[in-house]
Chain A
Amino acid sequence: MVELVIYGIVLGSIISLGAIGLTLVYGIIRFANFAHGDFLSAGAYVALFMVTGLLAWIGIPDTTFGSLSFGWRMAIAFPVSMAVVAGVAILLDQILYRRLRAKGSGPVILAMSSLGAAFIIRMIILILWGADSLFYRPGLMRPAIELPLGAKIRPDQVLILFMVVVLVSSLHLFLKRTKMGKAMRATADNKELALVTGIDTERIIMWTWGIGGALAAAAGILYGIDVQLHPYMGWNFLIPLFAATILGTIGNMYGALIGGLTIGVAQQVSTAFLMPTYKLPVAFVIMILILLIRPEGIFGKE
């Protein structure tokens, strides 16, 4: 049980990274981005291309860091993939959503467009890599560290938690300290007021997509390191991401963090009673319960 809670925190921290991006997009650009799950997949597969393709081809050695399952190749691929997916998110906004906004299309049309984008990303992954599960490093022994109470944790998982803490703290500092961060929070609070004070909303939107895409890519890679890569991995994250976002109140980054951890732990602990394939319905049921009891989320104002 302790072990399940620990694995739940690992899964939850990955969900949190995705949910923070989703909640920022939802709060600032004001629409439900159904392509967010597939940003996770995109990040994971871009890193796969780097690790097994490009970086291997350049001749970066394939040695691993200590007892971790990856080395320099992943250390390079990780930030590059974040930048690539940030670019993809901004590009999608430029090609699709900006035009729809300019035409005055409602949030539902934007959401539908993002659903189309989600399918397009997934189909590109399926065309390039096929439908099978893949690993960054197949056939690897996965040593575990013994913890008290009989629980085990892998060095990879410790690093995943560390990476999430680093990314979330940097985002926290960015939103609190920088001018752009403050402008983003202002736009999330009240878009009209932000416009009146001379904040350039188009730039804010680009930054929001960039941050959302980069965090989603990080989440996808970390999940790929922890479990495996699959073209539907991101799509299966979509319901947990939305559950975490709604639980933590739409637009609230810290809410998404707590929501993600809650959903992750609940999903992982549920495997003690239910088949592991029912993780997704568990997140769904939690979401429905929130909608029934407190649809504005834990940090929402009535």
Chain B
Amino acid sequence: MEIGGIIAYLVSLAIMAGIYAVFCLGLNIQWGYTGLFNIGIAGFFCIGAYASAMITTPKPTGVYAHYVNQIFGLNLPFILGLLGAAVICGVIAFLIGIPTLKLKEDYLAIATLGIAETFRLIFNNEHWLANGPRGLMGLPQPFQGLVDPKNYNYIYLIIIVIIMVVVYLSIERAIRSPWGRVLRGIREDEISAAMSGKDIFHFKMQSLVFGAMVMGLGGALYAHYTKAISPDVFTPLYGTFIIWVMLMAGGSGNNKGAVLGAFVVWGIWIGTKFMTDLLPYTLKARAPYIRFLLIGILLEIILIYRPQGLLGEEKEVSKLIE
């Protein structure tokens, strides 16, 4: 492969890792700082992607209407797609939070898992909603036409990096505020936090909604990168499990760790593809399973031998002390 091809390949890797980094940052708010156990990230991934797709595409007319069913299509700009995805994910997180956040942490896990599976089934079966299993295609990309289409990925990488930095800085700011200290207080010792007069339920709810909105952004970024989405993308493996491994590998409770974990684990994931490409032809069809098996073993090793991840949580002390 000549050098231009290698660079283009690296850019596409960086785009996917950057999208996953946004998900990791969202999960870090919920798990890293608040201790909320969300194992239905795929649900927010799915909703964010579909929301942005339906906001930014026009409703099919004429001949297309025979082939593509879509409940609405607003034909609005990309930025409104991003915002819409975030808002809708926030609302759904709020609804899930109501029955679960007052109970033990496992209930949130089971409920988010259920909601993720339910959304995937709904998008798969309800053809009138968003074209069923065939999904939606031809999603618009911002600033297209500015450069040669074959170089477009550079522009999209810049967009991803800008959004990632904005999300990163806003989480850093929020987490260093008194609000962030309450979240960490709840994570460490819920009863003490409650005894200090903090309304645990409301703080948990805000954290859940904030994290889900960031995940919605991630879903929208993914949808406009691939330009085509279908329900089979948002599986527990690609949509939830790998994001957990990324955050645990990088270091939960550390935003730098969340970003680092996304890039490292995505690198490992792609690296194992080169490994399984060496397998004999008959085994190739099952190569993705071997790769996911390795990712699963990686998670278990991290949990036992390095639960703090690569970076671990930063000590949050006043700058005046140092």
Binding site for B on A (CB under 8 A): 31-32, 34, 96, 99-100, 103, 105, 107-109, 111-113, 115-117, 119-120, 123-124, 126-127, 130, 235, 238-239, 242, 246, 275, 277-278, 280-281, 284, 287-288, 291-292, 295
Contact = CB atoms under 8 A, between A and B. Distances in A.
26 contacts: A32-B106, A32-B109, A34-B109, A105-B307, A108-B37, A112-B248, A113-B300, A115-B39, A119-B292, A120-B296, A120-B300, A123-B289, A126-B289, A127-B289, A238-B113, A242-B110, A246-B107, A277-B124, A277-B125, A278-B125, A284-B115, A287-B114, A288-B111, A292-B99, A295-B99, A295-B103
B99 A291 contact: yes
Interface in B188-204: none
Contacts of B244: 112, 115
A277 B105 contact: no
B158 interface: no
B241 interface: yes
Interface in B219-255: 236-237, 241, 244, 248
B144 interface: no
Given A119-B237, A275-B125, A278-B125, A291 B292 contact: no
Interface string B97-122: 01110010111011101110110011
B92 interface: no
A287 B109 CA distance: 13
B80 to A, nearest CB: 30
Contacts of B300: 96, 113, 116-117, 120
B49 to A, nearest CB: 20
A105 B107 contact: no
B286 interface: yes
Size category of the binding interface on chain B: 35 or more
Contacts of A238: 113
Given A100-B304, A111-B109, A123-B290, A116 B296 contact: yes
A115 B39 CA distance: 9
B308 to A, nearest CB: 12
B250 to A, nearest CB: 15
B293 A123 contact: yes
A295 B121 contact: no
B241 A119 contact: yes
Contacts of A292: 98-99
Contacts of A277: 121, 124-125
Nearest to B240: A115
Contact of B293 (A113, A127, A278): A127
Given A119-B241, A295-B107, A99 B236 contact: no
